Amino acid sequence: MSNNPVKSPSCLLIALAVFGMSVFGVIQYRDDRDRFSGHSRLREFNFVLEVLTGQETSAWSYPVTRWTHPATVTVTHGDDAFRQDVTDAIHQINNALGGTGMNLSLVTGEADIVIEGRPLGSLWKTKDKYGCEAEGADYGFFCPIYNEKTGATVKAVVGVASGLPEQRTRSIVLEELVQVLGPQNDVPHFTDSLFFEPDDGAPPWNKQLSHRDNKLLRFLYLHLEPGDGPKEILAAFRKHWPTMASHPPR
């Protein structure tokens, strides 16, 4: 879903950090990737790189962002059906993250992540309430706030259109909460992915976490750190991706 993260000094620092990468580092990464380009896993690497360093509303690439501790979630607006959608999404996410040290827990009161469900056309109320900038995000949005020094995510606001037919609201809740965890970009590589969005045409409504998406979340929280760039992602991908499991060991 479209989003436009809160404009804050931390976001600017993250963008400047990428822009300021040394010429040598960029050239070295490109050389490494070119040698990797003939490999059968190139498509998988492009998926990982683009989802972790891109954003839906920007042509820039950004360093890796993620939480460095388990996060709490609270529903501050929404009916019982919406709360159940949030509960189901958290359960699915935690199943993927088992053993990584990261998880989401639903609480009442103050929390790291605030999520609101409002009827379609009313999400502007959540945007205004929390000062979120999310142009055109009628169905769902998220506004992350980052630590200025490390780039780690420290707070977030999520808004989702509630009461949509079939499983649409639940699908959007899942997508927005997963994007709050760090993987933010929609890409056209794999049709079964939560992050799939075709180059033309509408994305599917009933999205779920695929095995590859689970693997991506585990890869992010086990082998990457906030601030990592393409070189670090490539090195970790080569070392860990081929043997990564999509679920924690039983």
The predicted-structure confidence for 50-106, as pLDDT tens digits, reads as follows 999 987 666 668 899 999 999 999 999 999 999 999 999 999 999 999 999 999 999
Whether this prediction's pTM lies above 0.85 is answered by: no
| Number of other residues whose CB lies within 10 A of the CB of residue 195 | 27
Q: Answer for the pair 138, 121: CB distance below 8 angstroms, yes or no.
A: yes
CB pairs under 8 A, 24+ apart, for 235-238? 237/41, 237/45, 237/48, 238/36
Of 238, 197, 176, give the one whose Cα is nearest residue 37.
238
Q: Confirm if 148 and 16 have CB atoms less than 8 A apart.
A: no
SS3 213: helix
Q: Which has the higher per-residue pLDDT, 184 or 83?
A: 83
| In the chain, where the domains are located | 1-250
Residue with the larger pLDDT of the pair 222 and 186 = 222
pLDDT at 4: 43
Q: Residues 221-243: pLDDT tens digits?
A: 999 999 999 999 999 999 999 99
What is the pLDDT of the chain when averaged over all its residues? 84
Share of the chain above pLDDT 70, in %: 78
pLDDT at 35: 53
Domain 1-250 grouped into CATH 3.40.390.10: yes
Reply yes or no on whether the pLDDT at 3 is more than 60: no
The reported pLDDT for the residue numbered 129 is 95
What are 33-51's pLDDT values in tens digits?
555 555 568 899 999 999 9
Q: For residue 136, what pLDDT is reported?
A: 66
